[in-house]
Structure 1
């Protein structure tokens, strides 16, 4: 099985999402040492914004081929300005390709990339979960669930670290809780 590990945080060593995504990969490879891991740092090697030549390429891109060849995807994402980093959005722009990862039918769109397992390490500076006052402006988890569902991945696992910008103690606890959750993850059979 192949695992694709993506990081998109611009914070480098200070990134909570990077620490948690690494812990997820560590847990998954510990559970299945035969996993072949490939890594893409979308902040260090940013993809350009979507252009017509990329959108109109019927064969897709290397990012699409890498995604299609992967069985497991681990995504590290911080929430910036209420949504995902633009670096991650540029990657999705290369992966959402009609006829490859989804198709349009008379009954509506149909995802073609089901069967992949996706784990998302998502960090948020404040509290944006259900029932929180700022929940209405949370567009990172909601976007990721929508876009993954659109291509047929309907059961992503999210490992959240919330409130990391509130203060050092809250950050430490959020990170510790997320790392503990990550440590318990395994690759489904």
Structure 2
């Protein structure tokens, strides 16, 4: 985390294929407005992954498991984007993920981002007692939108997966806010999510 300033460092990761009219993007914007009301010096880094990211391949894996000081130029190039994404996450006090639920789970582009930032020795490590997350002390907001999937139900494979991944990386303070089943009740679902955002943003602790 960045301890050189008292500003709240926020990283947003958005994944909706729609730029205009996206409910999840709208929820992210609403949360940022509320956070700025309480933290006017907020520092924001935005990462839109909707266009896609490289998938993990054999070259990436080989480079990732090679000690940094031993990597050759090709291996450093293979990890360059991953390195940048990891730094953004490491620098954040608060992570905000805004995503739709596609086919009961997360978009492929968001899964690709997770694969790029879940790096042994960077965001987690193996110990004698098992894996240990290295991103402790951060908070995360998961802002989800679904057309028909009830968030938290047996057919929601998005929110539980994201919680598991973040916990694996050490981020255990996770708030899930959903506008779900918007094909049936969009106005009501969005209004309820916005009310929840207002409540949780007001309680957000200041960055250390």
TM-score with structure 1 length normalisation? 0.89
The CA RMSD measured in Å over matched residues stands at 1.6
Aligned structure 1 segments of 4 or more residues deviating by more than 6 angstroms: none
SS of equivalent to 1:137: coil
Q: Deviations over 1:93-146 (max 9, x none)?
A: 11111111111122111111111111111112224345xxxx222110010010
Consecutive unaligned residues of structure 1, counting only runs of 5 or more, are none
Q: How does 1:169-180 map to 2 (within 5 A)?
A: 170-180=185-195
Q: How does 1:85-164 map to 2 (within 5 A)?
A: 85-130=107-152, 135-164=153-182
Consecutive unaligned residues of structure 2, counting only runs of 5 or more, are 1-7, 69-81
Judging by fraction of residues, say which structure has more helix.
2
Q: Which residue of 2 aligns with 1:35?
A: 42
Q: Which residue of 1 aligns with 2:86?
A: 64
Q: How many aligned residue pairs are there? A: 181
**Structure 2 residue corresponding to 1:24, chosen from 22, 31, 40:** 31
Displacement after TM superposition at 1:72 (Å): 0.9
The CA distance in 2 between the partners of 1:126 and 1:2, in whole Å, is 33
Q: Which residue of 1 aligns with 2:205?
A: 188
The CA distance in 1 between the partners of 2:197 and 2:162, in whole Å, is 18
SS of equivalent to 2:183: coil
TM-score with structure 2 length normalisation? 0.81
